[in-house]
Structure 1
Amino acid sequence: MTRFRHAAVLAAVVVAGTLAFPSVAAPLFSGATDQLGNNDVDVELVPSSDYARLDDGELVVDLSAANPDAEGVNDDAVTGIEDVFRVRYNGSRYAHVWITHDSDAVTFYADGAPVQSQATNVTLAPNATVAVGMRVDTTGETADGLINKITVHARAADPADVASGASVTGNTGTPLAEDSTVQTRALTETSRRFTVFGADAGETTTFDASRLVLDGAAGVLALDEVDVASTGGSVSVDVEAAGTAASSSRVAQRGAAPLGAVTVTDRLDSAGRATLRFSAPVGYFEERGVAPANLTVYRDDGGDLSKLAVVTTGERGGRLHFEAETPGFSTFVVAADRARLRVANATLESASAAPGEAVTVMANVSNAGNIAGERTVAVAVGGTVVAEPTVEVSASETATLTARVARNVTGEYAVTVGGVEAGTLAVATGNQTDGAAAAQSAGEPATADEPVREPAGFGLTEVLGLVALLAVVAASLALARRTPWR
């Protein structure tokens, strides 16, 4: 037996607007419904979006600008609304349900397929519920009252029809005590709304975020899925990938490099622990000089900035996938921990030197990052790099590096370390380092290789002259002995 019921539909097309979505503050079917049958076929309708309402016991679907709760569908576009109202079958057998109407511009569907004829019906198990969506095409001629009426058909299914392989919605073994339909909607290009109705306490639902882009570049860093555990009853969360600049700035101050951010809002205060799953193209991190091992997610709850552990789950479809678990919702910033090394200051041991004399230059290198890092620093004299020492610095620490520099040609040379000025080195004949001058004033040798000169001492010239004089004296004495005396 086929039963019919008509529901008025207001479907005026309006200028471009955004879609609005349902409030789930109360469980479905707990209040008034539109009863469509009795006996073997007991079907009822209930609004599940801001586009639907009950008016004198009948379901009204309103897509017009006159709807106080939702803006109209976009003009000159094809708009899909996944869940406009629900159909629930309360019988003890099975039921075929389908919808007919008088507009070519609107298609009703359930479980992802049109349900606009008996041949394309949806089969409901006892006490099962199905969400009915709409596809509205306003690219042709439009006018107020796209649909004058719709008819919801419900027919008790023969056992043979169900046994022959008909697609059945609902629990076919035991009655569904509570509706647990999952909804995922794109509010805008940068936002999503996820809802599950009637979830049991502790039950986890996986929401598909349809690769919500987090860094402003399509197909790059994206949020793929959100797992949410219910603390009891329906769960609804909003996800927004924009408006998180303040949190990204806080993360940068911690020494990490922000890559993208998302804000998640628990609309019903019924969400428990959750897992956020992300992905990016394999070459994404290499292009940014980021090691996947240094990936992290920071949670900014408006007070503390906490760090969530990241687990890399592998490569699939040319993308690297990773996830982080959170005890609650707020703003989340995907970031890369990094070292942030810079030369804080540099000095010369001496401002003057003789040609070829080496002088020590010192510099402090600080690490404002949150992991240890290594850096090779260029030391330049007069614009020419003369040394490239390497220094390793722990997170939030400072290390000192030293190098020896010299110039053989006299002149004044600017000395820099990593681009930071250390001072000017004056190279001139007769110049000596401050340390050498101090050593000489104390009576010590200027360098380890220079011999000490004693006051009034003999040099090599004086010694040779003395030897020659002694030789002349010795020769004169010998000649005197051989000469006879008269």
Structure 2
Amino acid sequence: MKRTLALAAALALAGTLAFPSVAAPLFSGPTDALDNDVELAPSSDYAYLDDGELVVDLSAANPDAEGVNDDAVTSIDDVFRVRYNGSQYAHVWLTHESDAVTFYANGEPVQSEAANVTLAPNETAAVGMRVDTTGETADGLIDEITIHARAAEPEDVAGSESGDTDTNSVSSSGSTVQTWAPDATSRRFVALDVSAGETTTFNASRLALDGTDGELTLDEADVATTGESLSLDVDATGTENSRSRVAERGAEALGAVSVADRLDSAGRATLRFSVPEGYFEARGIAPEHLAVYRDDGGTLSKLSVTMTGERGGRVRFETETPGFSTFVVAADRARLRVTDATLERASAAPGEAVAVTANISNEGSITGERTVTVSVDGSVVAERTVEVEASETATVTAQVAHDETGEHAVTVDGVDAGTLVVQADDTGNATTEQSPAENAADEPVREAAGFGLTDLLGLGAVLAIVAASLVLARRTPWR
């Protein structure tokens, strides 16, 4: 025998809808005693609990969500959840008298016995609303809403699936945990009746991260709650901007996933990932250089990674986060390059050494080491090894020399340092030694004979002496 539950509530378009959070008995009888077996819980910004009642607020007065548009059809997915606590499968649907509102689950209306959602024991279903504010259907109120639950025979559910629900379980504390997969690139996690501070484990069923070939996956999420319910949207698409921000930091983005906390009730969480064996080796990634970056739209923060071992042919690792946003799994890299190079001077003598200086920058996310080569006319003449910290620049210097005169191109790791001109003494800095014969040839040439002023004075002095001697000789008496 079937009973229906009439809920004393009204929906004013662009207003609010209220249900009791726990329904009254739905069935009677000793075998189908489903007392208090249907519950409702919020799962979006449009719904919340107020004094034990689920309130759905579609108005512009709701500070956390946009209201229903005028003269339009508005669809809101996953407004609240209906939970079935019975011991067997049940068909659940809602009925009311308004043509302006449609309740649906898994994309299909659930407003008749033929159009219902089938729930397993301790399973939940996401209920969405489609509100039509066009035409005359937008006038009036919903005077009565009825939630129907009918026990389903085994043959009624054989081979059937309850929408996109993947897993449902009941934790040791009595809370209900559900994973819903709307499509291959997303997951939706829900936990009901959880205690504040309690940690719930969600199975992501190896969700392949965006930007990968399916090898890098999110496997699980351990989430602590600050309230009585958790509702998380996980999406592995649309993360291009976050991956670009990580690349600008100098790291190599391997894949990304975004997690949205629909009820703002999540505390600290642990995200668990895995890759096939050999994944890191094939990409030249050292495990200690693996990182997870959290992009909250404003700040890009780096989270530490813990390797947790291998199991089932996959290498597993995890990271802890204080909250949810977009997460990019990345490999920290050193990215060293020569930014510029210069010669000490542009000319030199044959064999004379000239210093060449180069700046090496590290645009990566970790400290790196690199050996740079100095070449003259394409031939390597020197090598220097330098270590540069992340986001820093280092300088190296080497000496180059060339014996042949002429112009010679100097480069450091292919970066032009300039042209070195090697030139001889008459046009540059070079000097040469001369032989004694060449020095003699440079001496002034003297005449073989000549009579100069010095010779004339000397002759005059001699004649004066002779004349004086003759005078003295005449005055001296002879004996």
User: 2:2–2:26: 8 Å Cα contact kept in structure 1?
Assistant: no
What CA deviation, in whole Å up to 9, does each residue of 1:251-304 have, x standing for no partner? Answer: 223222221111111111111110011111232222322211011111111222
Q: Which residue of 2 is the match for residue 378 of structure 1?
A: 373
Q: Which residue of 2 is the match for residue 304 of structure 1?
A: 299
Name which of 87, 97, 107 aligns with 2:159: 107
Name which of 85, 92, 95 aligns with 2:119: 85
- For 1:282, the aligned partner's letter is E
How far apart, in 2, do the equivalents of 1:377 and 1:406 lie? 18
| 1:415 matched to 2:401 | no
| 1:35 matched to 2:26 | yes
Name which of 216, 228, 236 aligns with 1:241: 236
Distance 1:310 1:28, change over 3 A: farther
| 1:46 matched to 2:38 | yes
Map residues 28-427 of structure 1 onto 2, 5 A cutoff.
30-32=21-23, 35-39=26-30, 41-43=32-34, 46=38, 59-60=92-93, 68-70=103-105, 84-85=118-119, 87=121, 99-100=152-153, 107-108=159-160, 133=162, 180-427=175-422
Distance 1:405 1:282, change over 3 A: farther
Distance 1:87 1:190, change over 3 A: closer
User: 1:46–1:85: 8 Å Cα contact kept in structure 2?
Assistant: no
Distance 1:230 1:135, change over 3 A: closer
Distance 1:431 1:307, change over 3 A: farther
- For 1:199, the aligned partner's letter is V
How far apart, in 2, do the equivalents of 1:87 and 1:400 lie? 69
**1:372 Cα deviation after fit:** 1.3
How far apart, in 1, do the equivalents of 2:344 and 2:379 lie? 19
**1:366 Cα deviation after fit:** 1.4
User: 1:352–1:432: 8 Å Cα contact kept in structure 2?
Assistant: no
Distance 1:400 1:236, change over 3 A: same
**1:355 Cα deviation after fit:** 3.4
How far apart, in 1, do the equivalents of 2:375 and 2:164 lie? 69
**1:419 Cα deviation after fit:** 2.0
Distance 1:37 1:430, change over 3 A: farther
**1:43 Cα deviation after fit:** 1.8
Structure index of larger Rg: 2
**1:317 Cα deviation after fit:** 2.4
**1:215 Cα deviation after fit:** 4.2
Map residues 5-16 of structure 1 onto 2, 5 A cutoff.
5=2
**1:247 Cα deviation after fit:** 1.7
Q: Which residue of 1 is the match for residue 445 of structure 2?
A: none
User: 2:3–2:26: 8 Å Cα contact kept in structure 1?
Assistant: no
User: 1:280–1:321: 8 Å Cα contact kept in structure 2?
Assistant: yes
How far apart, in 2, do the equivalents of 1:428 and 1:413 lie? 11
How far apart, in 1, do the equivalents of 2:18 and 2:268 lie? 22
- For 1:279, the aligned partner's letter is S
Give the total of aligned pairs: 342
**1:408 Cα deviation after fit:** 3.3
How far apart, in 1, do the equivalents of 2:19 and 2:194 lie? 12
How far apart, in 1, do the equivalents of 2:262 and 2:338 lie? 48
How far apart, in 1, do the equivalents of 2:2 and 2:270 lie? 44
How far apart, in 1, do the equivalents of 2:183 and 2:426 lie? 73
How far apart, in 1, do the equivalents of 2:294 and 2:92 lie? 43
- For 1:59, the aligned partner's letter is V
User: 1:256–1:370: 8 Å Cα contact kept in structure 2?
Assistant: yes
Q: Larger deviation: 35-44 or 210-219?
A: 35-44
User: 1:179–1:197: 8 Å Cα contact kept in structure 2?
Assistant: no
Distance 1:332 1:366, change over 3 A: same
How far apart, in 1, do the equivalents of 2:81 and 2:318 lie? 37
User: 2:22–2:39: 8 Å Cα contact kept in structure 1?
Assistant: no
Query: Which 5+ residue runs of structure 2 have no aligned equivalent?
Result: 5-16, 41-77, 84-90, 96-100, 109-116, 123-149, 441-479
**1:354 Cα deviation after fit:** 3.2
What CA deviation, in whole Å up to 9, does each residue of 1:84-122 have, x standing for no partner? Answer: 43557xxxxxxxx98327779x6357xxxxxxxxxxxxx
**1:67 Cα deviation after fit:** 6.2
Distance 1:211 1:418, change over 3 A: same
User: 1:222–1:279: 8 Å Cα contact kept in structure 2?
Assistant: yes
What CA deviation, in whole Å up to 9, does each residue of 1:298-353 have, x standing for no partner? Answer: 11112222221111111222322111111111111112222221112100112223
* Structure-2-length-normalised TM-score: 0.61
How far apart, in 2, do the equivalents of 1:108 and 1:399 lie? 66
**1:41 Cα deviation after fit:** 4.4
How far apart, in 2, do the equivalents of 1:313 and 1:304 lie? 28
Q: SS where residue 246 of structure 2 aligns? A: helix
How far apart, in 1, do the equivalents of 2:426 and 2:118 lie? 90
How far apart, in 2, do the equivalents of 1:67 and 1:359 lie? 84
Q: SS where residue 42 of structure 1 aligns? A: coil
User: 1:225–1:277: 8 Å Cα contact kept in structure 2?
Assistant: yes
What CA deviation, in whole Å up to 9, does each residue of 1:25-57 have, x standing for no partner? Answer: x99983436712245641255388899989xxx
**1:431 Cα deviation after fit:** 8.2
Distance 1:6 1:430, change over 3 A: farther
- For 2:324, the aligned partner's letter is F
Q: SS where residue 371 of structure 1 aligns? A: coil
RMSD over aligned CA atoms reads 4.1
Q: SS where residue 175 of structure 2 aligns? A: coil
How far apart, in 2, do the equivalents of 1:43 and 1:460 lie? 125
How far apart, in 1, do the equivalents of 2:439 and 2:279 lie? 79
Q: SS where residue 424 of structure 1 aligns? A: strand
Distance 1:217 1:228, change over 3 A: same
- For 1:225, the aligned partner's letter is E
Q: SS where residue 422 of structure 1 aligns? A: strand
- For 2:411, the aligned partner's letter is T
Q: Which residue of 1 is the match for residue 47 of structure 2?
A: none
How far apart, in 1, do the equivalents of 2:21 and 2:306 lie? 41
Map residues 11-22 of structure 1 onto 2, 5 A cutoff.
none
